A and B are shown apart, each in its own frame.
Chain A
């Protein structure tokens, strides 16, 4: 279960990620890879219509197929207290009440699960399951319906629209973004094993084991403590693992029904319909400024698509109220319900979308004003947190802009579009910024020291590839003094101290504090054993340090061996929790980024190449520069996808997704991505938490797509207001 597969080899720890060797040697176990005796295989069956009702399931032929154990559907399912007697759908907080409805809300909605002896048997039998439907005409075209839905005030307005009616410079434009699928490398999977006395073990791919625990607990009416969730390795999430999706619930139901462990792994096409996506969106941005580029006011309206099961608002206008010091802000939002799968949070949710509108509009305004877009942004950065009036704890967006401009060579940019050329390519530079509220959540961590001084640091938090475990090791090493080679990390397990889901850039900002607190507690506890005559709590904690051999207090040293033997101990354990406090009432917290990109656009074919990407990030103290840069690089590559190619197409007649696999849905590959030049401001935030680290998972993508679009405009004079900038959108602009 440990990251370190050879416990005797602790002196030769990898220098990169703590889990790196396990991952590259294939020893890391992902959820679907656990070998559970007597496991049966479940395969989800999706609907073949997008709207209507199931009249009858046709499972006779499938039941006769080799190896089939049972087929679950709304006609054959176990009792689930959370679903039974449920009222109307929209009130249901669990999303789709899988197998507890005969209604069909979108195409490929899970309507059955085949459970069989082998994965092959289950897949083949799943192909034989049919349903008889009463079909209704689905609503699937966002563009067609978007304007029919009335906007609602977000109730966060400032000032008035009238105050800037006569602004000398205005931009008023509409922007759209296509649906984007998360597509983490690892496909979602769950193995469920019921144990005696209503105990349940789930090996599940997700971004928060405690969340899975609580959802399953309330749905199935089982005490939380009876549910053990293990997610030790997670192959990417991007937000798709923040919810508990129907396949996980169905796996629990199936295991209950067939009284055997059941394993379910989604297929790649099912990853497009069953675990969410970034919704399609429309925005209107109206922006006013004086002749010097001082912003006077903004109206930001946005709509995003949702399913017909559960409203999902992406929060697109939130970022508008945050980045700049607008005195007059009006924001309105609405949800467009369609017969499409359920959308959810996708990296930088809401803000990434909102920033495309706002950062594009600012670029348009700067062009009108003939002012430099870097200067205009610097002039308008929010002087304090506008929504609360609180001073920023730290906000170095200005430094991000200044540094980025220098690194890309902004002075080489010609403000007149279409003036620079390299061979057959037109060349342009673009800038955009991103911001994300720096959150922190109540998080636990424990440390367990063995006789040889080796410690194991544990938390329930997952590591979805972000380097959480490595960051934990860095913090524990820094605070205790114990060498990294003697620090093991275990995480992603609900038996460990509780932690929030890993989303919203909160992971490191939260867990670093818990590990910090546990490290201090360990120092004090070890010192207490070493010098029982002294009051451990009165010792200056900075004078206590741990090493590979023992504990030192000022000039005194006691080896671990003595401590353990004298006190007759087998191990020394501490557990601490840490969370936000009074500082949240005193300061506003944010992470930010400036994106400076250079693009090349082929004159004849419209081929767009991102030639350089400079991303400068303010995320407070950087705990692990490698892992942090890795986060920003990944986000930047995601930004190229969003800017140039990611687009989930829909067949409007049937609501089926078009090209729903890795060949048909295009995200950026290495050949599309230049060397991404990442830098950090690196100044610790003194108030957010003891480590001074602010989150950085989101800001690397917030602002990326508009920086590309703005660079394309600078290169060609073509303003593309619809993402992704595929060749047809470029030609039509």
Chain B
């Protein structure tokens, strides 16, 4: 690890004014510290923001505001979240390990970087780590790679489980920019596709801080599922995950949400499949058709063709489970 300076600002204002070109904010540090140990990220200065950002979950009339500093575990076990947004809790609990969830912050979860093995090995080419060096995974081992939304420059996937649920639940991200002004971004616009600039994971302005995440009220608390398929049952990133949520009127689907992890550079919403399901009966045939619609836009890489049938099976299974899941 490269030696670095460490400070702990007391306020957001102080944090924003202390930031320099080679500094990083650090909250839970569950990803950043790894990146520093592997010398993928080598900041000169760490600004510990754990004392500056809100760490409360506030229920409002129109939704819930989750402070950026709320630990992942605290979200997952929060009574209001479990009652009204149980999909979020379920997704969080499928991620990482209890120890990591205890440390990881809500804001940091959005900012974790890909686990693409080419990104983590300094001797291998990776445009995300060093743009212009090439994508080692494109023609190498891309088993964990994307099946949609990728470019020749990058086939990495976003690793978060929590973000898949937030994408499905139409969340918003509240941001404080370096100049002190505030901005709210739709969650779906927060992360980006790689294009020719895979070194940029998201659209967070330079040196800005995520202050909180807003999840609107919805009718998805009765019929939901987060299905994560992976090589083992704990402490493994998703091969494919599916966040599914249905708003049911009898056996008719009034609204549907479908999102996936492990398939793209960002948490992916299957909007065409959602549109298909809207107004349909909750039948095996319709679920299979929704899965087919989602999968038809995918284009797997050289060693991850299995992700397409896996995705279809996962969507069908998750939708079925929505009908029986009890919050």
A interface, CB within 8 angstroms of B: 48, 66, 107, 120, 123-124, 127, 424, 602, 604-607, 644-645, 649-654, 656, 658-660, 662-664, 666-672, 726-728, 731-732
Contacts and interface: CB of A to CB of B under 8 A. Distances in A.
B310 to A, nearest CB: 6
A660 B118 CA distance: 11
Contacts of B236: 663, 666
B115 interface: yes
Interface stretch (B43-51, B211-219, B225-233): B225-233
Contact of A656 (B2, B39, B124): B124
Contact of A606 (B123, B235, B310): B310
A651 B140 contact: yes
Contacts of B141: 649-652, 658
A727 B233 contact: no
B67 interface: no
B194 interface: no
Nearest to A123: B1
A651 B136 contact: yes
Contact of A671 (B1, B136, B232, B239): B232
Contact of A604 (B1, B305, B317): B317
* CB-based closest 6 A-B pairs: A671-B233, A728-B306, A604-B313, A605-B313, A48-B123, A666-B231
Contacts of A654: 123-124, 136
Contacts of B143: 649, 728
Contact of A127 (B39, B233, B305, B306): B39
A644 B230 CA distance: 11
Contact of A664 (B3, B117, B305): B117
Contact of A605 (B39, B124, B229, B305): B229
B63 to A, nearest CB: 32
B316 A604 contact: yes
A112 to B, nearest CB: 15
B234 A669 contact: yes
B237 interface: yes
A664 B237 CA distance: 8
Interface string B199-230: 00000000000000000000000000001010
Interface in B270-305: 304-305
B180 interface: no
A727 B229 contact: yes
A605 B117 contact: no
A38 B260 CA distance: 54
Contacts of B304: 728
A731 B306 contact: yes
B1 to A, nearest CB: 6
A124 B310 contact: no
Interface string B133-151: 0001001110110000000
A669 B306 contact: no
B117 A669 contact: no
B309 A731 contact: yes
Nearest to B315: A604
B152 interface: no
A731 B123 CA distance: 33
A123 B317 CA distance: 47
B124 A727 contact: no
A424 to B, nearest CB: 7
A660 B121 CA distance: 10
Given A124-B2, A659-B117, A731-B306, A605 B233 contact: no
Contacts of B3: 66, 124
B226 to A, nearest CB: 14
A651 to B, nearest CB: 5
B162 interface: no
Given A651-B118, A669-B232, 11 more contacts: A48-B123, A602-B313, A604-B314, A605-B317, A607-B229, A650-B141, A658-B140, A660-B117, A662-B235, A666-B232, A672-B233
Given A120-B1, A124-B3, A654-B123, A663 B233 contact: no
Contacts of A653: 136, 139-140
27 contacts: A48-B123, A124-B1, A124-B2, A424-B320, A602-B317, A604-B316, A604-B317, A605-B313, A644-B231, A651-B118, A651-B124, A651-B136, A651-B140, A653-B140, A658-B141, A659-B117, A659-B144, A662-B235, A666-B231, A666-B232, A668-B232, A669-B232, A671-B233, A727-B310, A728-B304, A728-B305, A731-B309
Q: Which of A606, A656, A660, A668 has the most CB of B within 10 A?
A: A656
Nearest to A47: B123
**Most chain B CB within a 10 A radius of its CB, from A651, A666, A672:** A651
B229 to A, nearest CB: 6
B121 A656 contact: yes
Contacts of A667: 232
Contacts of A602: 313, 317
Nearest to B139: A653
A48 B313 CA distance: 40
Contacts of A48: 123
Nearest to A66: B3
Contacts of A605: 227, 229, 310, 313-314, 317
Contacts of A668: 232
Given A653-B140, A656-B123, A672 B117 contact: no
A255 to B, nearest CB: 25
B231 A726 contact: yes
A656 B306 CA distance: 24
A639 B310 CA distance: 25
Contacts of A124: 1-3
B239 A727 contact: yes
